[in-house]
Amino acid sequence: MGNRVFGCDDCLAVCPWNKFASLGHEALLAARPGAEAPLAELLGLDDAAFRARYRGTPIKRTGRDRFVRNVLIAAGNSGDPALLAAVEPLIGDPSPLVRAMAAWASARLMEPTGFARLRGARLPAERDEDVRREWEEG
């Protein structure tokens, strides 16, 4: 997945039928302004902001939690510890899916001793099995 968050770019690139495709000119299919956003900005989306930003797009069907999960994976894969400021608040997100990936991303972005301290503080209170597994395997 690398730094990709959402989309069909890889599928389009390898599809054999695309050798017959010509450049499209449909305004509705053009990239929207702001389609490429910094990961830290996307990590800060709550449900209302997500719905407003992606209204009328296929991304909205994904839902905020799965979208933010993907952003957290991209953040963890980035290796950029500056993203920790945006990742850490998601450790307490209401969604177990988001909390699990926030733990995963934190493990990749933090120094091991810092992650061990954070795990020690968060793991005892976590009740979701999948989230606990991410903390334990981190």
* Amino acid, res. 138: G
With a threshold of 0.85, does the pTM exceed it? no
Provide φ and ψ at 33, rounded to 5°.
Answer: -60, 140
Q: Write the pLDDT tens digit of every residue in 13-26.
A: 777 877 777 777 77
111 HSE (CA, 13 A, CB side): 3
Q: How far apart are the C-alpha atoms of 75 and 64, rounded to whole Å? A: 16
Q: Which domain holds residue 25?
A: 9-31+39-137
Q: Write the pLDDT tens digit of every residue in 5-52.
A: 776 666 667 778 777 777 777 776 666 665 568 999 999 999 999 999
Please report whether residue 66 resides in a domain. yes
- Domains in the chain: how many in total? 1
pLDDT of residue 94 exceeding 80, the answer is yes
Please report whether residue 86 resides in a domain. yes
Please report whether residue 126 resides in a domain. yes
Q: How far apart are the C-alpha atoms of 132 and 68, rounded to whole Å? A: 19
Please report whether residue 3 resides in a domain. no
Please report whether residue 92 resides in a domain. yes
